[in-house]
């Protein structure tokens, strides 16, 4: 640790710097936490110029009034001054106690700050302010004599840059702050500007003023769904309204923010208004908690306005009563008797006057008073509100709303009916989503995810949907939205983070610590595991769990199953987890990891152990368990999961100390991982595995591992490169594997080389090389490299040999080798093996001229690829499925299927299938009438095939061009004859008899009828 003053080294236990004597500032790590807040930065413009010629005392006297004004404005709106900078300050809103209104409060504080400094009357004192909402690390810094609350992180730098960019007496805000405060504050968009230290220009907003729109109106304007459900609560309010005839009735609706309190009471008050009730309304505001009588003033203005509109006019006030009301409404008072009253007497007079006005109104007509957000009521209004809510007059209904932690004591004395609002049920949540998203069946999965993610809290549902629309995941209009792209993580909108954090701040430190452990464990946790990791006594644990259950943070769902607990929705868990600083997260995950290992979970749950080891930064264990989890995923054909765990294992291993043994493990891991990446269709990553492994093997001079790595790269090049490159590498690998004397790698090398020959159109070389592999793999002691089995490698070799013989027109031999592949697939019943056998079966059916049978086989194989994520086979299967549809005459199905096959092939860099699908898609387009598009596609495919060495596909493209091209003149006929002869030459050279026979038949038909085109039919 270094001294903040002189940067000298300080011992861990020193309180003073030995060099300069400065007190040591020590950060209290246990109190450090992440917070989503709004940061305010303000300074005096050109302060250096203002005090340059002044002595120190004069300089302080010149700037101190502005600093005092800044402090006062920040504190008025609940902010914390985290640092004073001589000529300015940094403040934070939303910490150390969370407040979901942190952005509007910061904006109001900034407006007040500028106003207060201007009110000093010193024209030389001008300020500029920057505001930004974002995630920070908040902590206490303790020195010998004091503690200071500070914040750290990139968010504060953006606030500082905005402050520096602002004009004198201007307030600049980031887009994040603007979005959170929009509706409560007025903004002007200034465009995008380049700020120092930021690579891209950022949108900047100028705060122009505060709005007089109530919070309810802001929320109502943003709402995109109609009011749903709440039948029980509405029935309660309806009963109270009926009972208000003979006696005043009071109801209190309690609920967490976003649960729908305001929506419910406003909907009900609107109903009463239509029935002839007089509505009076006041909303307690967090911005006005420090303003005396702010809530009462709002209510009295509403009552007086309503009374004035009544036919009999408002209640007439005399003497002190009139002065009392004028005092509440901030009107001038001329009555000398009022000024002589003691404060308590004035309070009593205000209460009596307000009650008198209300009684006078209710006597003539039924009235409903709605007081919202009682938890924010100012102190001066409280006593009067208690009196108004207790008035024993018939025809009065008083409705109050509050968060659970802010209910005043006097509410209980009003004999109020209390209703605690909970989340909507799943059905109501889906009904709300039907209103927001629309009724399309394509939205069913998203609706289910949103319901689970939000636990059907109305605000959360709306904000998550809004976030998806703003990000472009959803397009269209509210009530008729469509998915523009796949939905990833639903996330937590910034508008919700503060709401959840506010709830979290209501629980004790011990309860919060336990909740953080549960968040690290995941959506669900066992009571026994929590007890082990937290180290709490049984009594303390139960006390915390009861409190967390009551607060709906951690709900017990199965008492018998070891006390199974779960978070009500993912957002609570994520906000809880995000509140931990990295050091605390590491500690929690390390304790969880140790508990899981002690419980013997290493065999059954390597994925959980890998997860916690990674987050505990136990790299060696993360590598070990990541590899085990990858192997288990491979065993159940979960290829995407296997690839993910292999990546984790590779990352973790690279973080361990360098050693030759580590590099050997790294090479082996990449070689083993190839099957997962290959099957998952991650061809580029598969290629990189081989290349990276080869480089590492070279670095440690390990020839055996180098050959293995080259074999991995060679296999990937069949998909990722040109045939020439694939064959060159494949031949070298086969030679080296033979010289090295490792039969397993030789078998894989021969299979990969046979596949490379096939892709290049060298079909005779392919069937011979694949034949060698099939022969060797049929031996009793056949071997295969790590990551595969001899039987699966034999199946792949037989599959490719069958497809090769079918392409050559040797149907009987193709059927023989397909039968061997099918037998292995039936014995293993592995999804990957079944898809491989399905591919050769489909090709064989096409070769026999049975496209209907081929389509049925390939459709089954495609279903398996989708179910198990065998993405590498998807373009191959769908390509041949499209060909089967084409040969059946199902042209529309063929076009759709071939387009999809081509897109998937492009996404996995499977070049040969991109070309093959393009050829047959062109044939489908031609038969659908778009001949020109077909010709363009065929020419492009033919040129690419020729340039990159796909001779077999070049021949197919040439034949396709010949069948599609119109023969309207002699030049066209000459061109067609040239293409047919070129296709025949390639087919004859490669031995592809089916293509050769079709091309020769077409050529002979054209030559036999030089005047027309009957040869086409």
CA 974 to chain centre: 59
Strands 147-152 and 127-142: antiparallel
Calculate what percentage of the chain has a pLDDT beyond 70.
90
CB 192 within 8 A of CB 160: no
pLDDT of residue 800: 96
Residue 5, pLDDT above cutoff 70: no
- Which pLDDT score, from 0 to 100, does residue 143 have? 47
In angstroms, the CA 558 to CA 538 distance is 18
CA pair distance 576, 552, nearest whole angstrom = 13
Q: Cα dist. 852→372, 862, 916 in Å?
A: 69, 15, 20
Listed range (9-13, 268-272, 344-348) with the worst mean pLDDT: 9-13
Q: Which pairs count as long-range contacts for 532-540, CB under 8 Å and 24+ apart, including other chains?
A: 532/595, 532/598, 533/588, 533/591, 533/592, 533/595, 536/510, 540/510
Q: What is the pLDDT of residue 257?
A: 83
User: Quick one: tokens of 394?
Assistant: 């018939």
The CA distance from 414 to 411, in Å, is 5
pLDDT confidence of residue 422: 84
Mean pLDDT value of segment 193-202:
88
Out of 550-559, 709-718, 761-770, 867-876, least confident range? 550-559
Does pLDDT of 406 surpass 80?
no
pLDDT tops 90 at residue 439: no
Type and span of the H or E element at 364: helix 343-364
Residue 814's nearest CA partner among 846, 789, 857, 790 is 846
Confidence category of residue 294, pLDDT binned at 50, 70, 90:
confident
Instruction: Give the mean pLDDT of 222-244.
Output: 79
The DSSP annotation for 787-825 comes to: TS-HHHHHHHHHHHHHHHHHHHT-HHHHHHHHHHHHHHH
What's the confidence (pLDDT) of residue 18? Answer: 58
Q: State the DSSP code for 658.
A: P
- Residue 759 is predicted with a pLDDT of 93
pLDDT band at 6 (very low <50, low <70, confident <90, very high): very low
**Residues 30-39 pLDDT 10s:** 467 888 899 9
Q: How far apart are CA 757 and CA 910, in angstroms?
A: 15
End-to-end CA separation in angstroms for the chain: 87
Q: What is the pLDDT of residue 837?
A: 96
The answer on pLDDT for 153 being more than 80 is no
Tell whether the model's pLDDT for residue 454 goes beyond 60.
Answer: yes
| CA atoms of 244 and 246, how far apart (whole Å) | 6
Give pLDDT, residue 144: 44
Residue 853: which H helix or E strand, with range? helix 851-868
pLDDT in tens, 581-614: 888 999 999 999 999 888 876 667 899 999 999 9
Is pLDDT above 50 for 788?
yes
Q: What pLDDT, in 10s, does the model give residues 672-685? A: 999 999 888 888 89
Mean pLDDT over residues 143-171, rounded?
77
Q: What is this structure's pTM?
A: 0.76
Average pLDDT over residues 718-745: 87
Partner residues linked to 477 by β-bridges? 480
Pick the most confident of 131-145, 283-297, 499-513, 818-832.
Answer: 818-832
pLDDT at 255: 86
Q: How many residues in total does the chain contain?
A: 1017
Greater model confidence, 62 or 762: 762
Q: Rounded to an integer, what distance in angstroms lies between the CA atom of residue 862 and that of residue 1002?
A: 34
What is the share, in percent, of the chain residues with pLDDT greater than 90? 41
What is the band of 1 on the pLDDT scale with cuts at 50, 70, 90?
very low
Angstrom distance (rounded) from CA 788 to CA 731: 21
Q: How far apart are CA 93 and CA 105, in angstroms?
A: 7
Distance between CA atoms of residues 910 and 903, nearest Å:
10
Q: Which residue has the tokens 């968040």?
A: 519
Q: Count helices and strands (H / E) in the chain.
A: 43, 19
Using the CB atoms, write b or e for 459-471: b if 16+ within 10 Å.
bbbbbbbbbbbee
Question: Which of 680, 593, 691, 664 lies closest to 630 in space, CA to CA?
Answer: 680
pLDDT over 60 at 146, yes or no: no
Checking if the pLDDT of 51 tops 80, the result is: no
Phi, psi dihedrals of residue 472, rounded to the nearest 5°: 90, 0
Q: pLDDT tier at 696 (50, 70, 90 boundaries)?
A: very high
pLDDT at 751: 94
């Amino acid at each position: 640790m270094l001294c903040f003053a002189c940067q000298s080294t300080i011992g861990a236990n020193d309180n003073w710097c030995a060099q300069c004597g400065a007190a040591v500032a020590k950060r209290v790590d246990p109190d450090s936490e992440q917070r989503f807040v709004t940061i305010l930065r303000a300074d005096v413009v050109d302060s250096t110029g203002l005090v340059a010629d002044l002595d120190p005392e004069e300089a302080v006297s010149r700037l101190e009034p502005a600093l005092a004004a800044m402090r006062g404005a920040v504190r008025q709106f609940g902010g914390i001054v985290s640092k004073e900078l001589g000529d300015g300050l940094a403040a934070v809103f939303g910490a150390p106690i969370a407040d979901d209104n942190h952005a509007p409060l910061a904006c109001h504080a900034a407006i007040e700050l500028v106003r207060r400094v201007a009110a000093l009357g010193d024209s030389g004192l001008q300020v500029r302010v920057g505001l930004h909402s974002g995630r920070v690390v908040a902590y206490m810094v303790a020195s010998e004599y004091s503690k200071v609350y500070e914040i750290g992180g990139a968010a504060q730098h953006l606030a500082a840059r905005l402050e520096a960019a602002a004009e004198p007496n201007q307030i600049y805000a980031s887009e994040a702050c603007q979005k959170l405060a929009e509706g409560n504050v007025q903004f002007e968009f200034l465009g995008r500007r380049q700020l120092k230290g930021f690579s891209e220009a950022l949108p900047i907003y100028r705060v122009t003023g505060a709005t007089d729109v109530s919070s309810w109106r802001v929320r109502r304007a943003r709402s995109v769904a109609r009011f749903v459900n709440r039948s029980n609560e509405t029935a309660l309010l309806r009963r109270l309204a009926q009972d208000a005839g003979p006696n005043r009735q009071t109801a209190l609706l309690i609920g967490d923010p976003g649960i729908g309190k305001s929506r419910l009471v406003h909907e009900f008050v609107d109903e009463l208004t239509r029935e002839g009730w007089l509505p009076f309304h006041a909303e307690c505001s967090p911005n006005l908690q420090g303003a005396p009588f702010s809530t009462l003033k709002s209510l009295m203005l509403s009552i007086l306005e309503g009374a004035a509109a009544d036919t009999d006019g408002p209640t007439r006030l005399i003497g002190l009563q009139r002065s009392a009301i004028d005092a509440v409404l901030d009107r001038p008072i001329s009555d000398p008797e009022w000024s002589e009253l003691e404060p308590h007497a004035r309070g009593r007079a205000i209460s009596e006057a307000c009650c008198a006005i209300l009684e006078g109104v209710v006597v003539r007509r039924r009235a409903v008073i709605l007081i919202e957000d009682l938890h924010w009521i100012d102190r001066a209004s409280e006593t009067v509100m208690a009196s108004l809510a207790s008035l024993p007059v018939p025809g009065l209904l008083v409705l109050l709303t509050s968060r659970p932690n802010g209910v005043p004591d006097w509410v209980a004395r009003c004999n109020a009916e209390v209703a605690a609002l909970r989340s909507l049920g799943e059905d109501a949540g889906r009904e709300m989503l039907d209103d927001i998203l629309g009724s399309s069946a394509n939205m069913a999965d998203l609706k289910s995810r949103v319901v689970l993610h939000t636990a059907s809290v109305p605000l959360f549902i709306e904000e998550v949907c809004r976030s998806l629309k703003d990000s472009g995941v959803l397009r269209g209009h509210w009530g008729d939205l469509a998915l523009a792209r796949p939905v990833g993580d639903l996330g937590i909108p910034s508008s919700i983070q503060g709401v959840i954090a506010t709830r979290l701040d209501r629980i004790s430190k011990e309860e919060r610590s336990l909740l953080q452990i549960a968040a690290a464990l995941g959506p669900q946790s066992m009571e026994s595991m929590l007890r082990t990791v937290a180290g709490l006594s049984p009594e303390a644990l139960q006390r915390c769990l009861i409190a967390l259950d009551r607060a709906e943070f951690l709900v017990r769902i199965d008492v018998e199953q070891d006390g199974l607990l779960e978070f009500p929705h993912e957002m609570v868990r994520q906000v809880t987890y995000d509140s931990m600083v990295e050091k605390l997260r590491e500690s929690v995950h390390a304790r969880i990891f140790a508990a899981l290992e002690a419980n013997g979970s290493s065999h059954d749950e390597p994925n959980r152990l890998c997860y916690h080891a990674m987050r505990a930064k136990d790299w060696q264990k993360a590598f070990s368990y990541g590899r085990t989890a990858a192997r288990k995923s491979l065993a159940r054909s979960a290829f995407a999961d296997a690839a993910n765990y292999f990546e984790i294992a590779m990352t973790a291993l690279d973080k361990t100390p360098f050693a030759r043994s580590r590099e050997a493990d790294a090479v082996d891991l990449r070689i083993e991982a190839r099957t997962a990446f290959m099957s998952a269709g991650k061809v580029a990553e598969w290629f990189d595995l081989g290349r990276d492994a080869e480089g590492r093997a070279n670095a440690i001079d390990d020839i055996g591992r180098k050959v293995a790595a080259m074999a991995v790269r060679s296999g990937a090049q069949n998909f990722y490169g040109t045939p020439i490159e694939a064959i060159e590498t494949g031949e070298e690998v086969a030679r080296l594997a033979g010289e090295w004397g490792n039969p397993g790698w030789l078998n894989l090398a021969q299979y990969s080389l046979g596949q490379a020959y096939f892709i290049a159109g060298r079909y005779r070389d392919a069937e011979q090389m694949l034949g060698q592999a099939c022969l060797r793999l049929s031996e009793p002691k056949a071997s295969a490299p790590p990551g595969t089995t001899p039987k699966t490698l034999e199946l792949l070799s037989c599959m490719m040999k069958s497809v090769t013989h079918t392409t050559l027109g040797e149907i009987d031999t193709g059927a023989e080798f397909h039968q061997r592949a099918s037998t292995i697939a039936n014995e293993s019943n592995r999804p990957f093996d079944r898809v491989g056998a399905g591919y050769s079966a489909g090709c064989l059916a096409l070769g026999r001229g049975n496209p209907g049978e081929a389509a049925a086989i390939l459709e089954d194989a495609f279903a398996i690829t989708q179910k198990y994520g065998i993405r590498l086979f998807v373009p191959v299967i769908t390509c041949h499925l499209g060909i089967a549809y084409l040969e059946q005459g199902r042209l529309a199905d063929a076009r759709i299927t071939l387009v999809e096959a081509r897109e998937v092939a492009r996404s996995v860099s499977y070049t040969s299938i991109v070309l093959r699908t393009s050829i047959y898609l062109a044939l489908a387009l031609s038969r659908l009438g778009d001949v020109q598009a077909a010709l363009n596609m065929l020419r492009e495919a033919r040129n690419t095939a020729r340039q990159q060495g796909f001779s077999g596909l070049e021949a197919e493209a040439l034949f396709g061009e010949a069948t599609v091209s119109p023969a309207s003149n002699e030049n066209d006929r000459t061109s067609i004859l040239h293409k047919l002869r070129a296709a025949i030459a390639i087919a004859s050279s490669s031995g592809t008899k089916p293509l050769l026979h079709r091309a020769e038949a077409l050529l002979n038909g054209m030559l036999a009828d030089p005047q027309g085109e009957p040869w086409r039919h």
